């Protein structure tokens, strides 16, 4: 089990029980106490939890949690199911764009099952996760570090992305509604995603069902600008009707259909 996967399991245990001892976590995850203590130390630095004597507790001080750290903890089962479907779009030798989202980050451990991938990302956290994989050439677009989103942005980032071609772009969004399509809260992020779409053969949006019916300031894409919409639950009928009028294919974890 990779350290990322193990830490996700630790977070699920803490979300359920609010606290756990090192011994309990080691027994649950079949690893040594020393391994658990290293994981807890790393996770505390990220603001995901607070270590206590002999274990860890959920971090209740939201002022000390970054938005990205919070997003990593949310809807983990849905994100994992979405990632498994998104992974099926990839093949050996592909060139891939990844944004900085936590949902897209769940695809990264699965990439160990492929060879000769070249992956370009704007996400600092996702680049770090990629560095733990095998047989992947990793590129991160330079630029200004965007606080809280763990992303690079700005003209330098845009210039870099504009020179790269990808077979597949795996992207996420902040909200989705039937009128405005896929939206984001940040204009720079939206622009970068649009450039990735322009430079990709096919584009998949990874969006869990909690984002349905939400609209944010900046437009990412309309339904007819993407190739795949990947989610965890069947969308409401109005979304299905909209998708039926476009080229976009729905891939849903509860009603999976062949690609």
Between 190 and 53, residue with greater pLDDT: 190
How far are the Cα atoms of 30, 68, 150, 256 from residue 147, in angstroms, in the given order?
A: 36, 10, 6, 36
pLDDT score for 185: 83
Sheet holding 228-231, edge to edge: 136-140, 117-121, 95-98, 166-172, 200-206, 228-231, 249-252
78 within a domain of the structure (yes/no): yes
pLDDT score for 243: 94
Instruction: Tell which of 22, 44, 65 closes a domain.
Output: 65
46 within a domain of the structure (yes/no): yes
CATH number at residue 19: 1.10.10.10
Q: Are residues 165 and 137 in the same domain?
A: yes
Q: Are residues 57 and 80 in the same domain?
A: no
Q: Are residues 81 and 163 in the same domain?
A: yes
Domain that holds residue 107: 74-252
Q: What percent of the chain has pLDDT over 90?
A: 65
pLDDT score for 256: 47
How confident is residue 50, by pLDDT bands cut at 50, 70 and 90? confident
pLDDT score for 62: 33
pLDDT score for 75: 67
Q: Are residues 53 and 96 in the same domain?
A: no
258 within a domain of the structure (yes/no): no
Per the prediction, the chain carries an average pLDDT of 88
Q: Are residues 129 and 88 in the same domain?
A: yes
Please, what sign has the CA dihedral across residues 17, 27, 31, 136? negative
pLDDT score for 147: 63
Q: Are residues 205 and 154 in the same domain?
A: yes
C-alpha 133, offset from chain centre: 16
Summarised one tens digit per residue, pLDDT across range 92-146 is 999 999 999 999 999 999 999 999 999 999 999 999 999 989 889 999 999 998 6
Q: Is the pLDDT of residue 70 over 60?
A: no
């Amino acid at each position: 089990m990779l350290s990322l996967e193990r830490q996700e399991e630790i977070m699920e245990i803490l979300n359920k029980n609010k606290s756990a001892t090192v011994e309990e976590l080691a027994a649950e995850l079949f690893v040594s106490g020393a391994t658990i203590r290293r994981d807890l130390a790393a996770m505390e630095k990220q603001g995901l939890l607070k270590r206590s004597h002999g274990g860890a507790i959920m971090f209740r001080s939201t002022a000390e949690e970054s938005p990205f750290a919070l997003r990593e903890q949310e809807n983990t089962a849905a994100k994992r199911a979405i990632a498994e479907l998104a992974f099926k779009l990839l093949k050996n030798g592909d060139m891939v764009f990844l944004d900085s989202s936590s949902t897209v980050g769940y695809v990264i451990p699965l990439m160990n099952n492929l060879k000769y991938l070249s992956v370009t990302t704007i996400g600092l956290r996702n680049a770090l996760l990629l560095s733990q994989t095998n047989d992947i050439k990793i590129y991160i677009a330079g630029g200004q570090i965007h606080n809280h989103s763990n992303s690079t942005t700005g003209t330098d980032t845009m210039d870099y992305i504009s020179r790269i071609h990808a077979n597949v772009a795996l992207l996420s969004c902040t909200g989705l509604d039937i009128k405005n399509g896929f939206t984001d809260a940040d204009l720079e992020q939206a622009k970068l995603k649009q450039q990735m779409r322009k430079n990709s053969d096919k584009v998949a949006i990874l969006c869990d069902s909690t984002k349905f019916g939400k609209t944010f300031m900046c437009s990412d894409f309309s339904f007819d600008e993407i190739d795949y919409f990947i989610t965890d639950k069947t969308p409401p009928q109005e979304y299905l009707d909209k998708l039926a009028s476009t080229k976009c294919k729905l891939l849903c974890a509860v009603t999976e259909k062949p690609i």
